[in-house]
Amino acid sequence: MAKKNYDELSGKLIELIGGKENVSYFTHCTTRLRFNLKDQGLAKTDAINQLSGVSGTSWASDQLQVIIGADVDLVYDAVCHAGGFNKNEKINENLDEPKQKKFSFNSVLEAISGAVLPIIPIIIATSFINILATLLQKAGMSADNGTIQMLTLVGATGMYFLPIFIGATAAKKFNTSMVLGMLIGAVMINPTYLTAVNEGTSLSLFGLPVAMVNYTSNFLPTLVAVAVMAPIEKYLRNHIPAAIKSIAVPFLTLLIMLPLTFCLIGPAASLLGTYFSKGVVWLYETFGFLGVGLLTAALPFLIISGMHMTLVVYAITLFTTLGYEPTVFVAGIIITACQAGICLMVSYKTRNAELKATSFAAFLTAVIGGTTEPALFGVTIRSKKTIYATIIGGFLGGCVAGLGHAAAYSTIYSSFWDLVAFIPGGTANLLWEIGGCLVAFISAMIFLYLTFKEEDFTYDK
């Protein structure tokens, strides 16, 4: 999309969502503009879907997600400028106190995703540092080499200090003190505390026994602790006199949170995460390759519904538990291959110029960037045949990879470049994953080649 069209697109978007007065919060993620709307009925999603530069729309509670793709940052800036929105800040058009959202499963997923998503680049960057160190050693460089030692040190940092990173992002998500959130995470991995854990020393706090748990590389305890801290800190901030607020609020908040975190929240969340991981491992071991196939076939629809970040959270938990991940990261690359095959075949078969261009652009986005939203929203969900191809290709490809017990040895996105994360598991491990990708890619293409009909894409008529 040419830069000159950003202003035109932003103006039309604001109009079609009911005007800037209908927006209570506006932000964006990797590929989507995210509008929290006061009145969902004012949004004209059918018209938005037809805009040039928009790949589709999706609802998540009261949030309208507009799929843009790689240009989302530039479009976001244009919309902020056109609508007078403050970036990442709530619109102050309505000064009334917003209604508190009801507790629901979707709100839990949104909270977890909002806290975890910002730190994914840190985890991926340090993971690839680890991969680089591994490749250099396989090329003959000694483990005692200074470069290898530094790369290993940096690679371990991302996961080790995960509680601090989560403390910051969770605090931002729950609208509480970021420095206190980071402090909670830092205390949980304090070297003195970890030494006591490793040596089996018992600690107590105000007479309460402290659970001796190693929280390094663990995000869930900090996430829950910060979620609990948010209303406590807000209450203190609203009721403590201004003269002593700057001292009393952080002191009392920390004083309250320490026993809650180390005697209740931390150990409970750690135990929950451990058993959750064990449960998924049990399902994987019980159903084997069929389990991976089913997960891969379902993954695109989880992405469409916005629930895929929950799987990322699970995958990171499983990775920190096992040291490798045999399900979600495996399925992610395979479904990217499947979507690439679908878009390439649609681009080849269709006579519609707009659909051809959209499909080929989505194909390139999937292959180069590993981003499947343009393919899913721009092509796949607009025809039953492409949906069937997604299910067939994903299932067959996932079964192949699962049959070979393919596993990722680093946290990754879903790009083909991330196949290097399978190298530490050996040549066979890498080849099984590549085989799964090829089966998904080819089977989806063959199915569409045999069944494609122009009239299936009724939205283009």
Supply the residues annotated as catalytic. Answer: 29
Alpha-carbon distance 20 to 368, whole Å? 35
Q: Which residues contact 58 (CB under 8 A, 6 or more apart)?
A: 32, 64, 65, 67, 304, 305, 306, 377
Residue 61 three-state SS: coil
Using an 8 Å Cβ cutoff, are 112 and 219 in contact?
A: no
Alpha-carbon distance 125 to 393, whole Å? 30
DSSP characters over 4-40? GGHHHHHHHHHHHTT-GGGEEEEEE-SSEEEEEES-G
**Phi/psi of residue 56, nearest 5 degrees:** 155, 175
Q: How far is CA 379 from the centre of its chain?
A: 22
Structure tokens at 176: 């509480």
Q: How many residues does the chain have?
A: 461
Smallest Cα–Cα separation from 87: which of 48, 33, 12?
33
**Phi/psi of residue 28, nearest 5 degrees:** -155, 160
